[in-house]
A and B are shown apart, each in its own frame.
Chain A
Amino acid sequence: MNTNGTVRRRTGLWHNEDARRFVSLVATGVLIALLTGADGSQDDSLLAFRESLLSIRLPICVGLMVLLWAVFYVGQRRRISLSPAVTGAAFRQRLRQMPVVRWLLIVAVVGAALVLPPFLSGFWQTVLVNQVGIYVLLAAGLNVVVGWAGLLDLGYIAFFAIGAYTTAYFTGTLPIAPPFVVNPFVAIIFAVLACLVAGVLLGTPTLRLRGDYLAVVTLGFGEIVRIVALNGDDFTNGPRGATNIPHPSITLPFGVHFTVPGLDWKVDWDGSLRWGIDSLPYWYLLLVLTALVVFLLSRLEHSRVGRAWTAIREDEVAAQANGVRTVRLKLLAFAIGASTSGVAGVIYASKVGFISPDNFILQYSIFVLAYVIFGGMGSLTGVVLGAALLTALPEFLRDYVAAADRPTYLGAVLVLMMIFRPAGLVPAGRRKAEITAQQASDPPGSSVQQADQPEAGQPEAGPTASPAGAVGGGQ
């Protein structure tokens, strides 16, 4: 843990790990006191500080933190450190050795997703669809671009917008009349096509840019799409957006008609499925779509294409030299991500029935990216979980903290998560496998938990082995 101590013998209170931890925990206590305390005022910049710090709140918060420190301190002195057996890494490894457990977990989660929602309140059903379901789809799509192909996309929400506006267009709710009006289900096809085209149009000229240059271009693209939607009154209805987008419906070619003899129980269903204002049917629709997308993507991950993406992510030049068609594959990643986002756009538009440029602001692009990395870039399970947790978090907080403070907690969770689990909630198996493989050639003793051991550090970042990594390693 303490890399400083081993290399440089620096004494002094500040360089003492425990003292430092004490100071940071006390600072955290003060922060918590302020965060849970009173709101400030425009005219009196010290009001919030006075109210929060001169009350009983401060000693309580700081006291709790000092207590926490003491527990740590005593724990460390007695060397009750957590053994690898109970840390996540070892646990996961054991899980991998027991596929039954893993399958059971998956079945349990899917089962819960199927069975639980009808028992939830209408609010949670709405949150499940409007926030969780939609963003899970978005995150799964972005994962292809960022997690697998390693392309940083900061304008991803633009494709969501294109999907939603395509739906609005083809359901005849925009000022320009479409050639024919279709059901939102059919609009999925057009939305996917539109997003594919947009993805390729954006990708072709820009994909030769690397890393952060690509990031800023995609960011620009996202803003351009939003501003065009905002200002293109004659086509998109400007800030008024599209209203009354219809709900999807479908008539299956078969119905279900039977009676149970003896009982007074008759099923008479003509095969039509209609979605409406109720959230529950949308949840199952999203569940089916997400399952489909996750299944297709997970097939892709282990295919030739998926391996090629990994190659590009790790070292583009080497990949190209080995015959990987980098441009084409990067375009493919872009297009797949875009079309997934487009599907989410269709569902969102028809669920809420109203879209406006306010739905597609830059912050949302950044949030989706945060969900992907929070969950564990490149790991489908992680990304789905991450998006679900982080979209539900503000809604959980609704009952406990002031509305305006919710984003503050979200921010804190992001920072803490990255400090303590930098690879995300469920780190990607493939990346791990790569690292383990590399470590296998290292001398024994460099252990499983690479996160805590900078000495064994192989930068996970991919092509640009950042000096950050090197710095850690050099210490």
Chain B
Amino acid sequence: MRYQTLTRALLIPVVGALTMTACANSDSNNTASGNDCVTGADVAAVAASDGGGAATTAPTTGTTGTNTGKTYTIAFLGALSGNNPQLGINEANAVQLAVKQANDAGTLPFTLKYTSSDDEGAPDKAPAAAQKLIDDPSVVAVVGPPFSGTTKAAEPALSDAGLLSVSPSATNPALTSQGFKTFFRVVPPDDAQGQEAAALLQKYAKSVYLVDDTSEYGKGLADVIQKELGSTSIKVTREGVSDKTQDYSSIAQKVKNANVDAMYYAGYYQGASLFAKSLKAVGYSCLAMSDDGTNDDQFIKGAQDSAEGWLFTCPCADARVDPKAKSFLDAYKTEFNADPGTYSPESYDAANAIIAAMSTISGDVTRDKVVEAVKKVDYAGLTKQVKFEPNGEVSGKTIFVYGVDNGKRVLKGTTTDLLK
């Protein structure tokens, strides 16, 4: 009895829908072709030569070759496990590599050691993870944390202990105005990237669908872009979709239905690659852009052919793309049997800037001296000239644009070039 009524109840809408396929709406598929929007492939590829700053790959500022026999530790603090460990692993590896290379070069008056402390990417674990490093008297400098949330949680303790931390990827603008005395970062804050991304969108589109991943990073960036575009005539539709989502079909459908010229996804590569697939599935073919969190080969690996034509804004020069950073790429690959990922070069720069600063210190290296030395450092890194403003922001704020061409990430140029 019950079985039959139920099956019927379930089947009726399905069967009904199937039988009515004849009423197919003929003009439903015109949006993709009818809309004359710019795609990623149309974005002018400028000669990539002026990519990064002057790139030298090894710290060369070492003063003397006489090793005093002292050992100091540079630590990585960040997520090595938990829900989003890949950024942390990219960065930790790069720090490890920088330390190894500095030791191998043999120009430093001391020996460096590497250690790491895992905060699982969770703000509640970050203070203890930071404390672990603070307790170790040999740790004189920290690279990390990668995320803004963990930075906010860990930084009071680090700041209180006078332990330097240079983040390769915490981009929340507010971080440098919280009164953290020992916080520096080698990436420009979100507002720099957001402004440039907005300018690009303004150039190529009249209507924009702005999707963030509701993470601190994605939302922060999308907020900046929305604010920038708000003062223009461009129509912006804003939507959020949780970064833990595994099914992007409904949001992709909404983007498609909105009939926009461009879509910007603010978030990380994992969500972006699924989103890209769903966008392709619904037939969205206009400009798709994303940010530095997506600018990773894992994105292409996941999205496969759906990745084609995506553009990324990134305050980073990518070691895989920049020909000058080849030696870094090779060394990384030999060491870890993997390609450097997002923020590996930044992290490498951060570690090398710290090492460069340490080599200028006369006498014993102490935490205080390292902080003072880093304030004065001027180091030619892979991604930029590392030089800090008094509040801890890095001076160079160049934003690069990358794109996916034939399944490879290529540098399209700086935003300044593209906006010309």
Contact = CB atoms under 8 A, between A and B. Distances in A.
B134 A122 contact: yes
B157 interface: yes
A381 interface: no
B135 A130 contact: no
Given A123-B132, A352-B153, A404 B124 contact: no
Contacts of B301: 42
Interface string B370-383: 00000000000000
B80 A404 contact: yes
A277 B181 CA distance: 14
Contacts of A404: 80-81, 85, 118
Nearest to A233: B219
Given A239-B215, A243-B174, A352-B124, A123 B135 contact: yes
A130 B216 contact: no
A121 interface: yes
A244 B177 CA distance: 11
Interface in B52-94: 80-81, 85
A281 B414 CA distance: 51
A240 B216 contact: yes
Interface string A93-134: 000000000000000000000000000011101110011000
Contacts of B124: 130-131, 348, 352, 359
Contacts of A395: 128
B96 to A, nearest CB: 14
B109 to A, nearest CB: 29
B409 interface: no
A398 interface: yes
Contacts of A359: 122-124
Nearest to B217: A239
A244 B153 CA distance: 10
B204 to A, nearest CB: 28
Contact of B122 (A233, A358, A405): A358
A214 interface: no
Given A126-B127, A127-B128, A277 B135 contact: no
Nearest to B160: A277
B153 A354 contact: yes
Contact of B219 (A42, A238, A279, A402): A238
Range class of the A interface residue count: 35 or more
Given A277-B160, A354-B123, A239 B135 contact: no
B152 A130 contact: no
Interface string B399-416: 000000000000000000
Interface string A129-143: 011000000000000
A407 interface: yes
Contact of B81 (A231, A348, A406): A406
A356 B123 contact: yes
B131 interface: yes
Given A348-B124, A356-B216, A122 B131 contact: yes
A230 interface: yes
A224 interface: no
A124 to B, nearest CB: 9
A403 interface: yes
A358 B81 contact: no
Given A121-B135, A122-B135, A126-B128, A356 B149 contact: yes
Contacts of B240: 231
A175 interface: no
B250 interface: no
Contacts of B127: 126, 130, 352
Contacts of A131: 124-125, 128
A72 B94 CA distance: 49
A463 interface: no
Contact of A240 (B81, B125, B131, B172): B172
Contacts of B189: none
B220 interface: yes
A402 B88 CA distance: 14
Contacts of B157: 126, 277
Nearest to B80: A403
B174 A398 contact: no
A403 B216 CA distance: 24
A122 B215 CA distance: 31
A277 B174 contact: no
Nearest to B148: A240
Given A240-B220, A353-B156, A403 B118 contact: yes
A116 to B, nearest CB: 16
Contacts of B195: none
Contacts of A354: 123, 149, 152-153
Nearest to B122: A358
Nearest to B301: A42
7 contacts: A239-B216, A240-B216, A241-B152, A244-B178, A352-B127, A404-B81, A405-B81
Interface of A: 42, 121-123, 125-127, 130-131, 227, 230-231, 233, 238-241, 243-244, 277, 279, 348, 352-356, 358-359, 395, 398, 402-407
Given A406-B81, A407-B81, 19 more contacts: A42-B301, A123-B128, A127-B131, A130-B127, A131-B125, A131-B128, A239-B216, A240-B216, A240-B220, A241-B123, A241-B149, A243-B174, A279-B131, A352-B123, A352-B124, A354-B149, A358-B123, A403-B116, A403-B118
